[in-house]
A = this chain, B = another copy of it.
């Protein structure tokens, strides 16, 4: 049996999703709990990694088991053993050709920026930028980012033969008081891509970079990686669609 789980977590205390030697990771915590409840070593396959400090409201992973699970009871057991900074929201049965990563149609990431006074209660949950930004300029840049682009300059990925083309379906900005929410829906996001895009958007909002310069990074044939990367704490993996 193959199952798909939706999980939310506070990334602050973890070295990211993916298992790494000598590091506390979300995947390691989840596999430990599943293996214990299912009474056999159990691996999980996520929609993708999230980096250290990045949060998720709708990360997904699949796992296999020979057991037919009572999903309400099983979810309850998993949550009672998981650390208090993560929670499985839902688990559903899937066909065996379903894959949490390869079956993804689109991903949504949000980034939160506080442009107002420093807020100690949200210091790990919202980037405490504390300066005003020109939202119209940022919106103009968001419009320029929608569509299919080569994001070679917006990732730390090394392989020169990789496919760096990704499609952005939606890019929007909303405000909640002094907090700006920047939301992207796209076909996929490479490592640091969201944080480098937001890094540029902040420079644009400060008037230190033009939308034209952003466009040049998108078409530059020689690799010239953007020198801006917004901190992990403001980033949320919101939703996967399959």
Contacts and interface: CB of A to CB of B under 8 A. Distances in A.
Interface of A: 8-10, 55, 79, 84-87, 89, 117-118, 120-121, 123, 125
Contact of A120 (B87, B117, B118, B123): B87
Contacts of A9: 120
A10 B120 contact: yes
Contacts of A79: 118
Contacts of A84: 120, 123
17 contacts: A8-B120, A8-B121, A9-B120, A10-B120, A10-B121, A55-B121, A79-B118, A84-B120, A84-B123, A85-B120, A85-B123, A86-B120, A87-B117, A87-B118, A87-B120, A89-B117, A121-B125
Contacts of A125: 121
A85 B10 CA distance: 17
A123 B87 CA distance: 11
A231 to B, nearest CB: 13
A84 B118 CA distance: 9
Nearest to A55: B121
A45 to B, nearest CB: 22
A86 B119 CA distance: 9
Q: Which 10 A-B pairs have the closest CB atoms?
A: A85-B120, A84-B123, A87-B120, A10-B120, A87-B118, A10-B121, A86-B120, A121-B125, A8-B120, A84-B120
Contacts of A123: 84-85
A89 B120 CA distance: 11
Contacts of A86: 120
Contacts of A55: 121
A37 to B, nearest CB: 18
Given A10-B120, A87-B117, A87-B120, 14 more contacts: A8-B120, A8-B121, A9-B120, A10-B121, A55-B121, A79-B118, A84-B120, A84-B123, A85-B120, A85-B123, A86-B120, A87-B118, A89-B117, A121-B125
